[in-house]
Structure 1
Amino acid sequence: MRWTPPVLHVRYSVDQTLHLDGRGLLLTPSHFGQGPANSLADPALPPVLVYPAGYDSTAGPVTVRALGRLMGGTRASILIATGTATTSGELARRVGVSAATVSHHLSALRAAGLLSTLQQGELILHTRTSTGSALVNAAHAEGT
């Protein structure tokens, strides 16, 4: 995807223009999607764009060690786990720490511009920013 205001360009199976008309757009990463994105555009509902979530299962252990030296193991683990949109509770479960600890680290990572938080109704999701992903990818490329 590429954002060129006021247009979001998305690789899609057909050439299509979706006018939002002020309704907003819900971006939904999917672990089950592959290939181009799909849109769900019912004029009576908010538009939804479902796209494949990127996840590199080989990056985990190497990256945690490399980033851990820079920012600490827990914070590095949280940054890695936010490669896909994730709730605080799921992060706590994945990393094996309390919700309060996750909240503390999320605040620090957000303040550093490494992750962003999106609230959709009662659902709050955290995901890496492009800067956070660049840091994870650089640490993975180092292989240490």
Structure 2
Amino acid sequence: MDEMKDLRWRQRFENFEKSYLLLDKYSHKEINNELKRGGVIQFYVRTIELAWKVLKDYLEAQGYIVKTPRETIKQAFQIEIINDGHIWLDALAKRNITTNTYDDALAKKLLEDITDLYLPELTNLYEKLLKE
């Protein structure tokens, strides 16, 4: 493993970890207004962005060549770093929607998806990479 690539993914992991821990902390609290909802969604957007980037850096350190978020997710699924590639691809798509529009009904649905679907996948990734 290339030392620089190994160092890069570990540094990226530190940023991912900070963001993931905030998302995990606040997504389990009562979210009863737009400000809290918007805050958790922003933690999610930042965390999912850092998640695919740390995956990319980790894969590259392992010798894989990936260029896009989609390629990264597919490769990570193939070598079993992540459990459900479909959920990850959906999470990336939702990240794109939230950065370009705001709709209250969409925000409420996204919060459900974050806690029920995406956070468990992010937790699995966090725990796997933490062991590395």
Larger RCO of the pair (alpha carbons < 8 Å, separation 6+): 2
TM-score, with length taken from structure 1 = 0.31
More helix by share: 2
Structure with greater Cα Rg: 1
More strand by share: 1
TM-score, with length taken from structure 2 = 0.32
